[in-house]
Amino acid sequence: MTASAAGITALQIAARAADAKGGEDLVALDVSEPLPLVDIFLLVTGRNERNVAAIADEIEDQLLAAGIKRLRREGRQESRWILLDFGDLVVHVFHEEERTFYGLERLWKDCPTVPIELPQTAAAD
């Protein structure tokens, strides 16, 4: 199996939203083979709790604007690791320390990555 077109579309919207709020180290993993109900995990790092919350809120807002509804959200109160479940796409927004500690890339290392297309930033002159 490979990630669905709907999952890839949601990924691109979520990745642009995360990038717009300063999300770092974006990695998308195609987990459709081991997890039949999910296509893609998007992993994002925020610099602090406020940044983690802002990234998660922007992702949720942009996906909702695109007609993609959130099924579940966890971790918003602490804002150290926020999980947003959109069905085909599950977004994990981590504080730096939690991302290192839980090491989801290591746990899912056998899953292929999915390319993320972000807008190019103009170089300052």
Residue 82 lies in a domain: yes
Q: State yes or no: pLDDT of 94 exceeds 50.
A: yes
Q: State yes or no: pLDDT of 78 exceeds 70.
A: yes
Q: What's the order of all strands across the beta sheet hosting 89-95?
A: 24-30, 40-46, 89-95, 81-85, 72-74
Q: State yes or no: pLDDT of 123 exceeds 90.
A: no
User: Domain holding 101: CATH number?
Assistant: 3.30.460.10
Residue 122 lies in a domain: no
Residue 114 lies in a domain: no
Residues 95-117: b if buried by 16+ CB within 10 A, e if exposed: bbebbeeeebeeebeebeebebe
DSSP state of 85: E
Residue 120 lies in a domain: no
Reported as a pLDDT band with limits 50, 70 and 90, residue 122 is very low
Reported as a pLDDT band with limits 50, 70 and 90, residue 121 is low
pLDDT at 2: 83
Q: State yes or no: pLDDT of 1 exceeds 90.
A: no
Residue 86 lies in a domain: yes
Range of the domain at 71: 5-107
Q: State yes or no: pLDDT of 47 exceeds 60.
A: yes
Type and span of the H or E element at 45? strand 40-46
pLDDT at 63: 98
Residue 54 lies in a domain: yes
Say if residues 42 and 28 touch (Cβ distance below 8 Å).
yes
Residue 116 lies in a domain: no
DSSP state of 25: E
Residue 84 lies in a domain: yes
Q: State yes or no: pLDDT of 13 exceeds 60.
A: yes
The count of domains in the chain is 1
DSSP state of 112: P
